[in-house]
Amino acid sequence: MWKITADDLESIAIGAGILGTGGGGNPYLGKVRMREHVKAGRTATIIRPEDVPDDACVVSVFNMGAPTVGYERLPQGEEEWTALRALEAHIGRKADAIVPGEIGGSNSIAPLVVGAQCGVPVIDADGMGRAFPELQMETFTFNGVSMTPLALSSHKGETVILRDIDDPHEVERVARRWAVAHGARAGTAGSVMTGAQLKAFGIPGTLTLARRVGEAVRAARNTRADIHAAVLAVTGGRRLFTGKIVDVERRTTAGFARGEVTLAADDQSRCMIAFQNENLIARAIAPDGSERVLAIVPDLICIVDSETGEPVTTELLRYGLRVTVLGIPAPVQLRTPRALEFVGPRAFGYDTDFRPLELVAGKG
């Protein structure tokens, strides 16, 4: 058990940004928002999954919508808490603990705010181990935890409960429509589960992982050590490519920002990364035009500033940036055949099988 400090927030914001793999929104605003709570003497208590009783009532808490909107229409502040209360009223019991739905990007911090607001403990785990664009891409969902009842709350305190929808994709569609109708951001609480289910299906230790990644980056910056090596030492990943961005192509299809970024190294070798909000597939392009996959979803493909180690989200990709591409193996919970149906290459429209980073990337 530990309590979040202002210093933890600095680290978590960096680590969660890297684990966002290009999407999930920038955690900066969440960090500042949570820091105000800490300054006022309120903070979140973090508990380990193994300390959650089997019969505990656990709820997944997060924010859904467009990160770009989130930079402009800042939160009222109680959206997630209001959604949690609405859900609790609906199911007739209080949550004993909450779990972050998504550790990557801005959703790493939203549950901490709720923890500070109402004192409910936050579990050091999440349902993605990274960022994904859609609600059903959660370990709880593909292991059979029902997404509904699901509560959504707007910045004006309006709430809605989605109930008895069996198809996870339909939950995503309906929830997103509601969120867009309310300004494209909504606090969300759902996936009611037992402590036993949380322990069986959640990805443990990811809040700590985000903090440790951030601490490693900060320490390496202070000592002028190799920032990328520090990240990889914590995450067990490998360096896939270093170069500068020479082209960014974007298009919007079915509500998602899709596109491709091309990097060129000093030796003229190239790397292309396709993204749909998050980075999905990285390929090395040899001078003769032949291609080789370096990493593919759900493994994490993280683009960071070569010098500062700051994560570069897909919105920030632009010509001339010098970046390093890091590959980090996805948690084992995302690599099962069942999980890959939801978060593997085919779920994103690629007619190819998942192959783990350790096999495709060669020696890092």
Partner 1 sequence: MRIGIDVGGTNTDAVLMDGRRVVAWAKSPTTPDVTGGMLAALRALLAQAPDVTPARDISAVMIGTTHFTNAVVERKRLAPTAAVRLGAPATAALPPMVDWPDDLRAAIGGRGYLIEGGHEFDGREINPLDEKRLRELARQLTDEGIEAVSVTGVFSPVTPAHEERAAAILRDAAPGLHVTQSHEIGRVGLLERENATILNSSLVRLAGQMTQALRDALAGMQLTCPFYLSQNDGTLMNAEYAARFPVLTFSSGPTNSMRGAAFLSDVKEGIVVDIGGTTSDVGMLRHGFPREAGASVEVGGVRTNFRMPDVYSFGLGGGSLIRREPELSIGPDSVGYRLTEQALVFGGETLTASDIAVAAGLAVMGDPARVAHLDRVFAGQAVQRMRTMLETAIDRMKLAADPVPVVLVGGGHVLVGDQLAGASVVLRPANCQVANAIGAAIAQVGGEIERVYDLSAMSRTAALDAARQEAVDRARAAGAAPSSIEIVEVEEVPLTYLPSNATRIHVKAVGDLAA
Contact residues toward partner 1 (CB under 8 A) are 23, 29, 32-33, 36, 64-69, 71-77, 113, 133, 155-157, 176-177, 180, 183-184, 244, 250-252, 254-257, 266, 277, 305, 307, 314-316, 320-322
For the bound state, the minimum distance from the C-beta of residue 183 to partner 1, rounded and expressed in Å, comes to 4
For partner 1, the closer CB: 264 or 293? 264
Nearest approach in angstroms of CB 45 to partner 1 is 20
Residue 294 CA: distances (Å) to CA of 17, 82, 274, 285: 21, 43, 12, 10
In the complex with partner 1, the residue whose CB is nearer, 252 or 290, is: 252
Cα separation of the two ends of the chain: 35
Burial of residue 249, with CB atoms counted within 10 A of its CB: 0-12 exposed, 13-18 middle, 19 or more buried: exposed
Dihedral pair phi/psi, residue 227, rounded to 5°: -65, -40
Q: Do 68 and 211 contact (CB within 8 A), yes or no?
A: no
Least Å from the CB of residue 107 to partner 1: 12
The least CB distance from residue 101 to partner 1, in Å, is 15
Distance in Å, CB of 256 to partner 1, minimum: 7
CB of 133 to partner 1, least distance (A): 7
246 alpha carbon, distance to own chain's centre: 27
Identity of the residue, 93 or 156, whose beta carbon is nearer to partner 1 in the bound complex: 156
Residue 223 beta carbon to partner 1: minimum distance, rounded to whole angstroms? 18
Report the residue number, 32 or 89, with the smaller CB distance to partner 1: 32
Q: Among candidates 205, 196, 59, 184, which has minimal Cα distance to 121?
A: 59
Residue 131: which of 35, 26, 230, 4 has the closest Cα? 26
Q: Identify the bridge partners of residue 99 per DSSP, sorted by sequence position.
A: 60
Which is closer to partner 1, CB of 65 or CB of 121?
65
Q: State which residue, 322 or 338, has the beta carbon closest to partner 1.
A: 322
Residues 6+ away with beta carbon under 8 Å from 280: 273, 274, 296, 297, 301, 345, 348, 350
Give the residue with the Cβ less far from partner 1, 223 or 252.
252
Do residues 160 and 360 lie in contact, with contact meaning Cβ atoms separated by under 8 Å?
no
